Every structure is written in structure tokens, then in C-alpha cells.
């Protein structure tokens, strides 16, 4: 085989591999987006069960001012709710 033919074959194979990986990348990105949406929905459901309307409003106010603090509080509430420390009571 000539160098030109070999280079053409390599380029074609590289293009096929990149196209194949690009298709998988889009599918993976879509799957990750769906997973994140599902996790966010579960967070909202658990927080809705654990917090009354006033507490939910206060948490949203904190989220506007200090998002990182609100995320910490949400994580703490989720942890307490999933470990059974809230005993079905609304906070």
C-alpha cells in the first residue's frame, strides 16, 4: 500500500471512531441529564414531605441570598429524613 492510501484509511477509521464516540457522548449526556432531573425531583419530594410551607419559604429565601448555605441545609434535612430522625414530623 502507498502512504497516501494508508493515510486515507487511517483518516477514515479515525472519523468513524470519533463519530461513534460522539454519538455515545450525546447519549451519555442525555442519560446524565435525566438522572440529575430525577435526583432533583426526589430531593423536592423528600423536602416537601419533611418541611411545612413556612419552612419551605424560609429555605427558598436563604437559597436566594446564600445558595451554598441553602444546599447545606437541604442536605442536612435530606439526611435526617432518610435516616428516620424526623419521625414523620414536618419541620
Average pLDDT over residues 3-19: 81
* Per-residue pLDDT, 62: 95
Task: Using pLDDT thresholds of 50, 70 and 90, give the confidence band for residue 53.
Answer: very high
pLDDT score of 89 more than 80: no
Task: Using pLDDT thresholds of 50, 70 and 90, give the confidence band for residue 60.
Answer: very high
pLDDT greater at residue 81 or residue 6: 81
pLDDT score of 57 more than 60: yes
Q: Which CATH code for domain 3-82?
A: 1.10.8.140
Q: Grid coordinates standing for 68?
A: 451554598
Backbone conformation region of residue 87, classed left if phi is above 0, alpha if psi is from -120 to 50, else beta:
left
* Per-residue pLDDT, 24: 62
Q: Grid coordinates standing for 36?
A: 440529575
Sign of torsion over alpha carbons 80, 76, 45, 42: negative
Amino acid at each position: 500500500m502507498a502512504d497516501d492510501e494508508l493515510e486515507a484509511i487511517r483518516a477514515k477509521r479515525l472519523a468513524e471512531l470519533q463519530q461513534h464516540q460522539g454519538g455515545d457522548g450525546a447519549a451519555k449526556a442525555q442519560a446524565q441529564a435525566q438522572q440529575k432531573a430525577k435526583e432533583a425531583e426526589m430531593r423536592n419530594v423528600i423536602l416537601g414531605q419533611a418541611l411545612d410551607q413556612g419552612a419551605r419559604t424560609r429555605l427558598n429565601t436563604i437559597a436566594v441570598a446564600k445558595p451554598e448555605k441553602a444546599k447545606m441545609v437541604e442536605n442536612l434535612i435530606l439526611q435526617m429524613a432518610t435516616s428516620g430522625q424526623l419521625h414523620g414530623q414536618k419541620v
